[in-house]
Amino acid sequence: MDNPNTAAAPERRARILSGIQPSGTPTLGNYIGAMRNWKLLSDDFDCLYMIADLHSITVRQEPAKLREQSKNLLALLLAIGLDPQKNILFFQSHVHQHAELAWLLNCYTYMGEMSRMTQFKDKSAKHADNINCGLFTYPVLMAGDILLYQANLVPVGKDQTQHLEICRDIATRFNGIYGNVFTVPEGYYPKLGANIMSLQDPLHKMSKSDADDCFISMLDEPDAVRRKIRRAVTDSDGEIRYNPETKPGVSNLLTILCALTGEAMEDAVARLSGKGYGELKAEVTEAAVSTLAPIQQDFKRYLADKAFLEETWRQGAERASRIAERTLSKAMKKIGFIPR
Ligand code: AQP
């Protein structure tokens, strides 16, 4: 008979960590590029989804709004169908190990590496009055987020590849000095990925902290969706074709439409050829409204259930902390700190 004490432990499924900042209400860009994939991933992987509130303060946040946006975001994660038993859903600030590991890793990261980060350059141009040290070193916090959980895979959009690379570099450097402490993560490129651009400035990505008419928020009412899409920037040649370079506005609307309906781009372009931008916009509006309506309904239900929300974030923090603490104490011991 097998001795249960010597039987091999069942192998754990590959672990995934991903996050989103509560720096506004998530946009259709966040949904298409990240959130809608999270539910699919949870069928095949052990997933941790983090509300990255520590990251969000690299840009000044109004306290009451930050609290509201954070709770809304948790309710939205539940509303898109993430099961809090199956996945670990948590607020980053509830797991103190994130800030601690970030400090340690800062001491294994070079100024030159951080100055090459394009997102730092973009964000410091956007917030020239508040170029704080957190904005400069947040890729290190992000590296710590991933490494704390020994994540094997990190879903990455095009805008995030540089951050994954730096995380891998830091982990490899640390492991090179102290032995195998961190799992070096790989990028995971979801099949349903798309970069959604601003409705008013389609050469830049849609961001939740931009002016309201630049994005569709996941909580926008149908009238707001209709109005924003009607005003979306297009061009003057009047032809529906997909070419992000010469026709960024129209191509962005086509991308949103295909991402939401699942129609192939060439089919959508063939079907809409000869029609006007008004018809394209009406279809995009219809697709967005019908995608968001059931999510918004569930969102309201979850947001009203305060006890369930609190229980979800409390349990999420406990489960995440247990994993995080194992990694943090191992790293601290290797560095030479005296265990408490
Ligand atoms: N426009 C987009 N198209 C596709 N994917 C996007 N993501 C963000 N914008 C788009 C993906 O959403 C995830 C969570 O992003 P985040 O909130 O952590 O930070 P972000 O990328 O800086 O998102 P925002 O909306 O632009 O926030 P702010 O305005 O605060 O800077 C990521 O996986 C991201 O790739």
CATH of residue 261's domain is: 1.10.240.10
Minimum CA distance residue for ligand 1 atom 5: 33
What pLDDT is recorded for position 3? 43
- Tell whether ligand 1 has an atom less than 6 A from the beta carbon of residue 119: no
In a domain, 226, yes or no: yes
Q: How many domains does the chain have?
A: 2
Q: What is the pLDDT of residues 250-265, one digit of tens each?
A: 999 999 999 999 999 9
Q: What is the pLDDT of residues 69-107, one digit of tens each?
A: 999 999 999 999 999 999 999 999 999 999 999 999 999
Kindly state whether residues 70 and 99 are assigned to the same domain.
yes
In a domain, 203, yes or no: no
Cα–Cα–Cα angle for 200, 202, 204, rounded to 5 degrees: 105
Q: What domain range includes position 249?
A: 212-301
What pLDDT is recorded for position 7? 47
pLDDT interval class at 320 (50, 70, 90): very high
Mutate to test the pocket of ligand 1, among 30, 74, 216 (most ligand atoms within 8 A of CB): 30
What pLDDT is recorded for position 194? 84
Active site residue 65: no
- Tell whether ligand 1 has an atom less than 6 A from the beta carbon of residue 30: yes
Kindly state whether residues 148 and 46 are assigned to the same domain.
yes
Minimum CA distance residue for ligand 1 atom 8: 30
In order of 39, 49, 73, 171, 260, the CA distances from 77 in angstroms are: 9, 9, 6, 29, 18
For residue 4, the CA-to-ligand 1 centroid distance in Å is 46
- Tell whether ligand 1 has an atom less than 6 A from the beta carbon of residue 29: yes
Tell me, yes or no, if the pTM score tops 0.85: yes
Q: What is the pLDDT of residues 102-112, one digit of tens each?
A: 999 999 999 99
In a domain, 8, yes or no: no
Cα-flanking dihedrals φ and ψ of residue 32, to 5°? -70, -40
- Tell whether ligand 1 has an atom less than 6 A from the beta carbon of residue 207: yes
Q: What is the mean pLDDT of residues 314-334?
A: 98
CATH of residue 114's domain is: 3.40.50.620
Identify the three-state secondary structure at position 48: strand
In a domain, 157, yes or no: yes
Q: What percent of the chain has pLDDT over 70?
A: 96
In sequence order, what are the residues at sequence separation of 6 or more whose Cβ sits closer than 8 angstroms to the Cβ of residue 149? 15, 17, 48, 320, 323, 324, 327
pLDDT interval class at 119 (50, 70, 90): confident
Q: What is the mean pLDDT of residues 56-68?
A: 96
Kindly state whether residues 87 and 220 are assigned to the same domain.
no
Kindly state whether residues 168 and 41 are assigned to the same domain.
yes
Kindly state whether residues 105 and 182 are assigned to the same domain.
yes
Q: What is the mean pLDDT of residues 295-318?
A: 98
User: What is the C-alpha separation between 194 and 169, in angstroms, rounded?
Assistant: 26
Cα-flanking dihedrals φ and ψ of residue 27, to 5°? -100, 175
Whether 219 has a pLDDT exceeding 50, the answer reads: yes
Q: What is the mean pLDDT of residues 196-203?
A: 96
In a domain, 316, yes or no: yes
Kindly state whether residues 138 and 280 are assigned to the same domain.
no
Query: Ligand 1, closest atom to CA 206?
Result: 1
In a domain, 138, yes or no: yes
Kindly state whether residues 277 and 158 are assigned to the same domain.
no
- Tell whether ligand 1 has an atom less than 6 A from the beta carbon of residue 52: yes
pLDDT interval class at 10 (50, 70, 90): low
